[in-house]
Structure 1
Amino acid sequence: MSALNITHDPARRSWIESANAADTDFPIQNLPFGAFARSGEIRTGVAIGDRVVDLRALHDLALLDGDAAIACASACDSTLNALMALDARHVSALRAALSDLLKHDAPARSRLASSIDAVLPRVTDVELTLPCAIGDYTDFLTSLHHTERHGRYKGLADPLPAAFKSLPIAYHGRASSLRVSGGDVRRPYGQFRDADGNVCFGPAPMLDFELELAAVIGRGNALTRPIAIDDARNHVFGYCLLNDWSAKSIQWFEQVLGPFLGKSFHSSVSPWLVTEEALAPFRKAAPSRAAGDPAILPHLRGAHDQQRGGLNLDLYAHLSTAAMRSDRMPAMQITHTQPDNLYWTFAQMIAHHTSNGCNLRTGDLLGSGTISGASDASRACLTELSEAGKKPLALPTGESRIALEDGDEIVLSARASAPGAVSIGFGECRGRIAAALPYPLAAGEH
């Protein structure tokens, strides 16, 4: 497990001045990994302030040695997968070397500064892409409050599934439609019941966002070889924000084996992977459970996970409509929540996922599920914010919402903080709803 080291030193400052701003997501204590397009080529990089370290350009300068050099060479591809598959010591060595190169009194400062646009382009001058090739995507259902509310909305006699408090429930998502933050989220077509209860087909009328945190696997496990609970976080390369866009009208009609077309049309992730090591200062005990809840079975209960499986993290969702942007109104904060609202930790999700011998692979993405809490402010999707349409969400323009309309934009963000540590962020996870495209015509029609 990651321990505190010099890269977490709150006194450390960077010669990249934007990295020293109090409100930056990417101070020198963070150094998250991602990928970007530049001059028609995909490269990997590390965020620092308002700039990106181009890892291939850095490798060409031959400023690194040992494990850091090995790690940087592995990152000279169009995705981070080769780097992520290395032993954690290599990634840690690269973070430490980058921290030393970027600190305010770095010996190599003048050499880097002289070629700053080549080695450290501004993030506004590049196009951020998916940080890694994602082969499999598993989405969990780990908020008791989110699960209970949706069970109530559906009229279930027991809103919580029988297994909820015994294991982390999940479904297998569609990795092919995962997209990096930004751009349009196209309204999908599907089957659903109309207001009269008739089954119809057309553009989904009830679109929703879901605020989630996701873990991305670094080193996987061999088939038939489960991952022990207290070893699970050693298999996580980093974390990002996830918006699991949902067509609730489609999902609630089709769901028998689990979500399908109501979920598979688009999921958005933030572009930067905040490493397990960077989050070390913000670890805390796993969320406590209510008296009378079932005991955690031994394979899902680890001493270290119970002591350090939680995170001091605040997550937010902001909504803006076309009318709000036209009137130059700021986006409205509609959700503020924390991972404390999850019933299961990521280590427990990984241990459960692999408990039957299932193999996770480098780049696999595991979503936490919607991180809703008990309070009104912590409801992390519009369905909950509007009580399934019974109490429309009022907006400052006089508009209201029970579902997302075309032109609506959702921006997710997160901030880790703890006493004595420099606060770090995750960057934005942004998406704007676009109108459905004309549906394909039948053969022979024009």
Structure 2
Amino acid sequence: MAIDRSRLLADAEKAARRGNMKQAADCYRALVEASPNDRTLLQRLGDALARAGESQAACEVLEDLAELYRAEGDQHRSVAVLRRACRLAEDRELLDKLGCWLCEQGLAADARQPLLEAARLHEAAGDPAAALAVWRRLAEGREGDLEALREVLRLGAADGAQALSVRERAALAVDLSRHSALEESIENFVAAAAAGPALIEGGWLEHFMRAFERLGHLPERAETISEPGVAANWVLVRAGTLERLGRRDEARAELVDGLRSAAAWPVSARLAAGRMLIGLEVFDAAAKVLLGLGPSPPGISTHALKDALSELVTRDPGQHAVMERLLAISSAAEPSTGEEGAKRSAPGGGTPTAAAPGADESEPGEQQPALSTTLRAEVLEIESFVAHGMYSRARAALASLAGRAGPHPEVLRLEQAVEAL
């Protein structure tokens, strides 16, 4: 049914002048029903309802108006209208929405107060999951809110759907350490480390070694832990912390002792232990651990394994079994035929290097003679030297190899790559 817009506007204004805001609101509501996207009418209806004492109804109208402005891309007006709605009533959903919108605009400091209030109201209403979601938003980012971090840990300690995962607890503990809340950080690391082996895969252990180092505190030994992945957490962190504290002999002993049960450790933990042993210069033990992983262990990349093996033979060139394993892995990864088989990567995994002049002058279909296993191992060793920045050793080893291998394409490629350094 058509309405008399002019008459209704006049009636609304007359009622407002008389102080009859309920009648004014009724007039504006009839106008809004006919023109639901009219911003001016929505604003007047919200104002009239608020002055009539109908705060909840006013909030709903102003929320609709804020959404309209937001849909048009007018973020400033949308936030201003939603702020007014939040002042009219203690509505946890509106406060939550206002905080989110402010965060989206990069106004994290302005978002903090409405989000704090929303979290308080969510929890008071018996909705800890919604409260936890708000606290998580406040805790996000490298400079996460310290109060929010503590609240996430408090609410996440409960059983149920909102319980924290091992990885999330570890990440929050890292954030606590950034706020210098080291005791709390370590307490939560202990809880995370005792829950499972996921800390190794997540790369969290390094963070906690730093936290323990700053605190000068060493985690207790874990003789009673039977789960291998959890035991690995403790051994690696204790050894790494001892090393950071300058107690390298104790670190070696801790790691070697812990590795007696390493066969049951997750593959990622054994790889981490091998890398740590290399750093501690326990090369034979490192070789035993890394070779024990096999040529293609599940759960870790071939690149990660090759990198560890390469580091070991660079630091201790006498590890011939390791060199043979590295050679076998590299050979298995290389294309064997076709044009792609002729392409080689630069030492250290860089951009493929162009073949040296004269290195590919054989007739089509003619294969170059393969290097012997010994010479091929030397090629890999030189590549390892280059990858780790040991250019003088690479040049010396290459000079010796070139005299014995002759003008082989592999050697010519290496010479060209080393000359370019």
Bin the TM-score by the shorter chain.
under 0.3
Q: Which has the higher contact order (CA 8 A, sep 6+)?
A: 1
Higher helix residue share:
2
Task: Please say which structure displays the higher CA radius of gyration.
Answer: 2
Higher strand residue share:
1
